[in-house]
Amino acid sequence: MQVHGFPPISDARSRVLILGSMPGKASLCAGQYYAHRQNSFWRIMGALCQFDPAAPYEVRTRCLLDAGIAVWDVMQSCSRESSLDSDIQEASIVVNRFEAFFHRHPKIGFICFNGSKAEQSYWRYVLPEVPVAESLETQRLPSTSPAHASLCYAEKLAAWQVILLTHAQGNVRQLE
């Protein structure tokens, strides 16, 4: 089944970009990033950015934007039968338009990957085509997906704090 992602959550203030691979079925049905009730993304971001993770979606996304955080996916579309990244058919991947995105968001200097598939896809499909991407700092974080159960919530939260540490210390490099 061919699935299509969402537009980015971003604005001119965005300095940090969180990249997933492709929204899962629950997110696609809801029309919202990380809508699966067991995905810890909103719980983690609520703790880091000090907002209620149960707030309406529009409030949560506004809180991310106020914190300088953008959210998007590496893939614009792909074929897969389930929500699992391992089911994505590599030959079907269509990548989002990162060159245009980075041009519109010149303050982004730090990319966090929500799991290994997002990171692998970025290196394989985006980096060779988007020269500016080489100047950006990147870090893979543990997936917030309930399928990634090898770490508990507290361990995931501790790892994700790099977003605030990097952002709060002003270490996010700006593109020239």
**How many whole angstroms from its chain centre is CA 20?**
4
DSSP string, 57-92: HHHHHHHHHHTTEEEEESEEEEE-SSS-GGG--GGG
Spacing of C-alpha 138 from chain mean position: 12
The pair of structure tokens assigned to 97 is: 């338009």
Please tell me which residue in 39, 96, 114, 171 is annotated as part of the active site. Answer: 39
The answer to whether 171 is a known catalytic residue is no
Whole-angstrom distance, CA of residue 174 vs CA of residue 176: 6
Q: Is 105 helix (H, G, I), strand (E, B) or coil?
A: coil
Residue 37 burial by Cβ neighbours in a 10 Å radius (0-12, 13-18, 19+): exposed
- C-beta separation of 9 from 60 below 8 A: no
172 within 8 A of 109, measured Cβ to Cβ: yes
Residues noted as catalytic: 39
